[in-house]
Chains A and B, each alone.
Chain A
């Protein structure tokens, strides 16, 4: 090769590497999403969705999603496993062997939030600002274009379906037609899923608030400030709402919005709390799992390493945790109810 060509080639290579390196920041990524039934755990872990036998701890199958999938898969009552990919495709798989039932490919952006399945209808939120309603064969029933991306799983009371957007709006749509029943503007983006009970909708807001709306008309009933952003929606257990924030606080509120207690934990809390064996369990980006009594008095800490962003997945007596940037190559760790590591799963290369 002529030496005079070396300099331009080197320069081009440097520019390519730099732009390519920067652009990989554009390659979407997230933390793993999980679901489980009595026998298997299903994990969206980037390029593959895995099914892991909870008894033998062996991989039953893996399904390749071109680009990646991170939203927690959803098991339906009629035996489907729904998987939303970052390739804009929603897949229906047979959970037994990962054979494909159908694909829904009309969305224009990623599936970041998991779909809701209710009354033979799939309500699938997409980052293309749309909520898609599908029948159980993947046929589009209706779609509704919101103001911004939808990252959280919707909820429904059978008449209306409710969801929030990154554009700080909350919508209620008629389940049968997708027509807008009401919409309200909030003070902050809604990233997570709402909780619905007795005509009340509870949301965590990204501007740092826990808020309650009347599900009939969207009227604001109360709003309480948190110390930092709320990424996920609250957990409702009994008559109490539990919510984590970016400053590492786990707070408990009454359904009227009274602060019952607050525990300062270590590291930002991204995933929603879960209820396991009478304790509130939550992970933090400091790599800790906290087991907190319902009255907030007792706190046990288990360190799993890495950062715990995704939701914890209860599976029988186990809690499945999938830490990010962990030193271990495990896809997830199974903790027993005492917080001790029961086993972990590392996928074969």
Chain B
């Protein structure tokens, strides 16, 4: 089901792009990643907006008063929360629903890159079953994995004085850190769970993705880097990039949520 609906169509689109760009798989990954980012941009914009509204609610005076007042009564607190959402025009699902819709596409994209590279006989055999038998795509199933200095099917190293330096893995870690840091939604509340989660993710995700980029095919590293840069551009277009967050000791400014009524 997952394969049929998500991974196989994405694999075929990726191979179609590969065909269009003259059998350059690296270029195909870059275009494909940007294309998916563009297609999912409206969802991302909604997510950012919803997420920011939820964050700003934490510093809302009325909400803080309600929390104090109904501290021991969870049912009443929930009722008041829903009333406040309605009054302020906040949709509590606006931040998570777009993410949930995007996630299968993003993971599918990642898997389709892995699949299209088909770096061993068993992987190629799987790919033969996934490729649509029209448009000449079935003739493309052994992709040219050479791109710039990289073999996209192999972990990347640049050899300097006999030492293999994982340039892409380092770039993955750096771009992931920058993206998570400058796009993090600020929080005024020290007990805000979402904020602490964001903070922790901004520390561990660069290491995690860097680890994957270090150990697995460099095609994935190219995807991670392009995806991070495209994400930065998306946030910048929405005016949500806070470059000051990269400076040590700088706390992002906190806006307060005004009543919309």
Taking Cβ atoms with an 8 Å cutoff, the residues of A that contact B are 4-5, 7-9, 11-12, 15-16, 18-20, 22-23, 25-26, 28-31, 70, 86, 108-110, 112, 127-129, 147-149, 151, 166-167, 188-189, 191, 206-207, 229, 246, 270, 309, 324
The contact of B114 among A7, A22, A128, by CB within 8 Å, is: A22
Asked if B197 CB lies within 8 Å of chain A CBs, one says yes
Alpha-carbon separation in the docked complex, A129 to B152 (Å): 13
A218 to B119, CA, bound (A): 28
Closest chain B residue to A127, Cβ basis: B119
* Chain B residues, Cβ within 8 Å of A8: 196-197, 200-201
Interface string of B188-217 (1 = CB under 8 A from A): 000101001100110011001100100111
Nearest residue (CB) in B for A307 is B125
Q: Please name 27 pairs of A and B residues whose Cβ atoms are closer than 8 Å in the assembled complex, sorted by A.
A: A4-B193, A5-B200, A9-B200, A12-B205, A15-B205, A16-B208, A18-B107, A19-B209, A22-B114, A23-B212, A23-B215, A23-B220, A25-B114, A25-B115, A26-B216, A29-B123, A30-B120, A30-B121, A109-B153, A110-B119, A149-B145, A166-B142, A188-B139, A189-B142, A191-B124, A207-B139, A309-B121
A330 to B206, CA, bound (A): 42
Known: A11-B197, A29-B123, A30-B121. 9 other contacts (CB 8 A): A8-B201, A16-B208, A26-B119, A28-B120, A112-B121, A128-B151, A147-B144, A206-B141, A246-B128
A29 adjacent to B212 (CB under 8 Å): no
Interface residue? B146 (CB, 8 A): yes
A255 to B196, CA, bound (A): 72
Question: A108–B151 contact, CB under 8 A?
Answer: yes
The CA of A12 and the CA of B200, in the complex, are separated in Å by 9
What chain B residues lie within 8 Å of A5 (beta carbons)?
Answer: 196, 200
B123: chain A residues at CB < 8 Å are 25, 28-29
Q: Is B110 an interface residue (CB 8 A)?
A: yes
Chain B residues whose CB sits within 8 angstroms of the CB of A20 once the complex forms: 212
Q: With a CB–CB cut-off of 8 A, which chain B residues contact A270?
A: 125
Query: Is B102 close to A, CB under 8 A?
Result: no
Residues of B within 8 A of A207 (CB): 139
Minimum-distance CB pairs A-B, first 10: A166-B142, A28-B120, A8-B197, A8-B200, A189-B142, A29-B122, A30-B121, A26-B216, A25-B114, A23-B216
- Are A11 and B201 interface neighbours, CB within 8 A? yes
CB of B111 closer than 8 Å to a CB of A: yes
Tell me the number of A-to-B contacts counted with CB atoms below 8 Å.
Answer: 100
User: In the bound complex, do residue A26 and residue B217 qualify as a contact, i.e. CB atoms below 8 Å apart?
Assistant: yes
- The answer, yes or no, to whether B154 is at the interface (CB within 8 Å) is yes
Chain B residues, Cβ within 8 Å of A26: 114, 117, 119, 216-217, 220
* In the bound complex, CA of A314 to CA of B190 (Å): 72
Q: Which residues of B lie under 8 Å from residue A112 when comparing CB positions?
A: 120-121
Interface centre among B123, B125, B145 (most CB of A within 10 A): B125
Known: A8-B196, A26-B114, A26-B216. A110 touches B201 (CB 8 A): no
Nearest-neighbor residue (CB-CB) of A246 within chain B: B128
B209, closest chain A residue (CB): A19
CA–CA, A86 and B191, complex, Å: 49
Residues of B within 8 A of A229 (CB): 128
Query: Chain A contacts of B201 at CB under 8 A?
Result: 8, 11-12
**Cross-chain contact A309 with B193 (CB below 8 angstroms):** no
Residues in A neighbouring B119, C-beta threshold 8 A: 26, 28, 110, 127
> A108 CA to B149 CA in the complex, in Å?
12
Interchain CB contact under 8 A, B151 and A148: no
Query: Of B110, B128, B197, which one neighbours A22 at CB under 8 angstroms?
Result: B110
Q: Which residues of B contact A166 (CB under 8 A)?
A: 142
Give the chain A neighbours of B115 by CB distance below 8 A.
25
Task: Report Cα–Cα, A30/B107, bound state, in Å.
Answer: 24
Contact with A along B112-151 (1 / 0, CB 8 A): 0011010111111100100000000001011011100001
In the bound complex, do residue A31 and residue B212 qualify as a contact, i.e. CB atoms below 8 Å apart?
Answer: no
For residue B142, which residues in chain A have a CB less than 8 angstroms away from its CB? Answer: 148-149, 166-167, 189, 191, 206
Cα separation A188 to B128 with both chains bound (whole Å): 14
